Chain A
Amino acid sequence: MATPLKAKVAAPRSNDNIVQGVKYNRSSSKRNNFEMVAWLFMRLSGVALVILIFGHLFVNLMTGEGVHRIDFGFVGGKLANPFWQVWDMLLLWLAMLHGTNGIRTIIDDYAQKDKTRAFLKVILFLASAFIILVGTLVIFTFDPCPTGAAAELLPSFCPAP
């Protein structure tokens, strides 16, 4: 392969890629395949998210008394379990990255000025990084039995004060 410098030199080149008399000399410097990786990520994370979100919705809205049963005791009990910690962390990271890339695509589609696109994407990336950071910290630094809280608000496994 030619070096990037050589790629700028006009034909004739020693390694023209000629197919049926037509030259196919695209950039021979290293290609940036970020967009292909992003496209593939949307499909792979999408399949995982279908399982993760359907499980999340079923356990939180369909079992027990549905949304009426969700309180600190219920969520505290779930987040004290390593299985749900990992489930919720995967859900948080994959959903945020999938959603952020989706909004990035929409910004690229509809914002026509370079500066508008850059501005919107900076806001998007800052908001996404903040939400991922906050969510991850909550999952792993959360105390299901905080001292001083009323016992009837806490999960049943918390020791009596």
Chain B
Amino acid sequence: MPNTPKNGTLYRGREGMWSWVAHRISGIAIFFFLLVHVLDTAMVRVSPEAYNAVMSIYKNPIMGLGEAALVAAIVYHAFNGIRIILVDFWSGGTKNHKTLLWGVLILWAIAMAGFLFRHLPIIFGGH
């Protein structure tokens, strides 16, 4: 779309800005989970009972939904990160950055559909 006053700016409030906002928020969430995740895995160094006790928390269905949200954040951050690399290094990246973002969102939806098809029955007891 042309950069007219009606449409605001090229960046603000548009695909470029919102994909950047989502990249930041997903990155922060993943980082803080990573800190916790290294510490919960460190329980293997304490005792089998301590590790199994911590892991039983992750098997709760509500935590299972949290895992789904975490995976959604990771998959978005991964695919959008590749889009950023393409915008930086591929000569057509800047021109096609909006198409690339739609590609990211479609791949994200496909990956999440496959993941949830497997994960939701596991966390709600069906295996």
Residues on A lying within 8 angstroms of B by beta carbon are 43, 46-47, 49-50, 53-54, 57, 61-62, 65-68, 70-73, 75-76, 79, 92, 95-96, 99-100, 102-103, 106, 127, 131, 134-135, 137-138, 141-142, 146, 149-150, 153-154
Q: Are A43 and B88 in contact (CB under 8 A)?
A: yes
Instruction: Give A67 to B57 CA distance when docked, in angstroms.
Output: 11
Nearest neighbor of A91 in chain B, beta-carbon distance: B34
Report how many A-B pairs have Cβ atoms within 8 Å. Answer: 107
Residues of A within 8 A of B119 (CB): 61-62, 66-67
Inter-chain contact B81/A46, CB cutoff 8 Å: yes
Cβ contact within 8 Å between A138 and B41: yes
CB distance from B46 to the nearest CB of A (A): 10
Q: Is the CB of B64 within 8 A of A67?
A: yes
Interface of chain A, main secondary structure: helix
What is the chain B residue whose CB lies nearest that of A79? Answer: B44
For this complex, 22 residue pairs linking A to B, each with C-beta atoms less than 8 Å apart, are A43-B84, A46-B85, A50-B82, A53-B74, A61-B71, A65-B127, A67-B64, A68-B59, A70-B58, A72-B51, A76-B44, A79-B44, A95-B34, A99-B34, A100-B31, A103-B31, A127-B35, A134-B38, A138-B41, A149-B48, A153-B52, A154-B48
Cβ contact within 8 Å between B34 and A65: no
- CB-CB < 8 A to A46: which residues of B? 78, 81-82, 85
Query: From A132, which residue of chain B is reached at the shortest CB distance?
Result: B38
Q: Are A67 and B122 in contact (CB under 8 A)?
A: yes
CB < 8 Å neighbour of A102 from B27, B78, B89, B123: B27
Determine whether the beta carbon of A106 is less than 8 Å from that of B28: yes
How many residues belonging to B are interface residues under a CB distance threshold of 8 Å?
A: 38
Shortest Cβ distance from A54 into B: residue: B78
Q: Which residues of A contact B47 (CB under 8 A)?
A: 146, 149
Contact with A along B32-72 (1 / 0, CB 8 A): 00110011011011011101100100110000100100010
Known contacts A50-B78, A62-B118, A138-B42; 11 additional CB pairs below 8 A are A50-B82, A54-B78, A61-B122, A67-B119, A68-B59, A72-B48, A102-B31, A103-B28, A106-B24, A135-B41, A149-B48
Q: Which A residues touch B39, using CB under 8 A? A: 131, 134
The one of A62, A75, A96, A141 that contacts B34, using a Cβ cutoff of 8 Å: A96
